[in-house]
Amino acid sequence: MIRRRTVLGASALAVPWVARAEPGVSDQEVVFGQTGILSGPLGGQINVMLAGAELAFSESARNGGVAGRRVRLKTVDDELKPDRAAANVRKLLDEDGVFALFGCVGSATTAATAPLAQKAGVPMVAGYAVADSVRAKAEGTAYFVRATSGREAEALVQHLATIGITRIAAAVLDNPGGQEALTLIGSALGKLNLQPAGSGAFKGDGSTVAAGARALVDAKPQAILMYLGGALPGELMKACWALGAQPSFYGMSIVAGEVTAKVAGERARGLAISQVVPYPWAQADPLIVRYRSLAEAAKLPVGYYSFEGYLAGLVLLEALRRVGRDLTRDKLHTALRGLRTRLAGMSVDFTAGATGSRFVELVQVSHDGRFVR
């Protein structure tokens, strides 16, 4: 009798420890945190991307969730400021008790927050607009679904060289990600024994567009390759035209074609952009058709940003599915490191490193903001 009481007493003491859940995990949901620029001219496309991810999370919840849990995302604005991003992540982890991070934005901000996530053992999934050098430093903590900027730069420069355009200038954001993009474009040109025809760094508020356009036009480029967000690409195009220049314009995937067409008008026709997810208007792929149906039902514009968010959400859900009911941060790390899948014709494979995809294709923007292959 004494022995039985002793065993039962030990079990009773052990139950609270065994049952203790990871932060952000309950029987009904798992909560992820996100910090990024959600306001101002650069915030619009981030909100669209997050809305795309929500399509995947809501669809999963309607079907019973992952191991019975729905995914909930808590978002906070950091205005792309590293110190604010770090403060946001500290609050998300220490006060809000999120399980992990999803969809965080920016190079300098990710550089500031990745050490905090690493110290806490927290996975960071599907970061956006993060420089290749920051990705390398965050390996083991972060998992990036989209192809690298270096891969995009190489695809664009190779295309331009193939069609006989060799005087290529670069217009980038005036931030660490933009400066690295400029270096990557220069490296891609160097592989073909070419040099940049000119370059300019532009502030996100548009205050340097006029002066930057003048410097680029004076360099007489055949094409301007842009790493610019929000309304900046359209404003730069208009400023160059106002100066009498007629270069071809190409954009990396950070360029929002729909926004650019609204700003630049019909003359935006012919702008080509490298995209890091498949064509969202394809008719034959069942997953793409399902995404469009969900987007239309949610009154979310069908496009590359929402589709990228949707695919990133599916990657996260697949990793959670592989972990199952006994969800821990360590187990999610393990699932992500071993994840290999294919979505809408795009391969995602984290077994070789922090970046899961090499997918890049070029599309053109029509005068009304539609994309054509």
Give domain status of residue 176, yes or no: yes
For the residues of 21-72, what is the DSSP string, one character each?
A: PPTTB-SSEEEEEEEE--SSTTHHHHHHHHHHHHHHHHHHHHTT-BTTBEEE
Residues 6+ apart with CB under 8 A from 167: 197, 220, 221, 222, 223
Give domain status of residue 17, yes or no: no
Residues of the domain holding 112:
29-147+282-359
Q: Give per-residue pLDDT as tens, 107-146.
A: 899 999 999 999 999 999 999 989 899 999 999 999 999 9
pLDDT of residue 20: 53
- Here the CATH number for the domain that contains residue 34 is 3.40.50.2300
Give domain status of residue 12, yes or no: no
pLDDT of residue 257: 85
Give me the mean pLDDT over the 279-301 stretch. 97
Q: Residues 160, 136: one domain?
A: no
What does the angle CA 114 – CA 119 – CA 122 come to, to the nearest 5 degrees? Answer: 70
Give me the mean pLDDT over the 203-212 stretch. 93
- Closest CA relative to residue 344, chosen from 296, 319, 302, 312: 312
Domain boundary among 240, 275, 310: 275
Alpha carbon 33 to its chain's center: 15
Q: Decide: 22 and 329 in contact? Cβ < 8 Å.
A: yes
Q: Residues 260, 203: one domain?
A: yes
Q: Residues 52, 113: one domain?
A: yes
Q: Residues 235, 175: one domain?
A: yes
Give me the mean pLDDT over the 290-302 stretch. 97
Q: Residues 220, 170: one domain?
A: yes
Domain boundary among 217, 249, 275: 275
Q: Residues 242, 167: one domain?
A: yes
Alpha-carbon dihedral sign for residues 115, 352, 105, 232 = positive
Q: Residues 161, 245: one domain?
A: yes
* Residue given tokens 């906070």 in the structure block: 76
* Residue 67 predicted with pLDDT over 70: yes
Give domain status of residue 23, yes or no: no
Q: Residues 271, 305: one domain?
A: no
Q: Write down the pTM of the prediction.
A: 0.86
Q: Residues 229, 289: one domain?
A: no
First-residue to last-residue Cα distance in the chain? 78
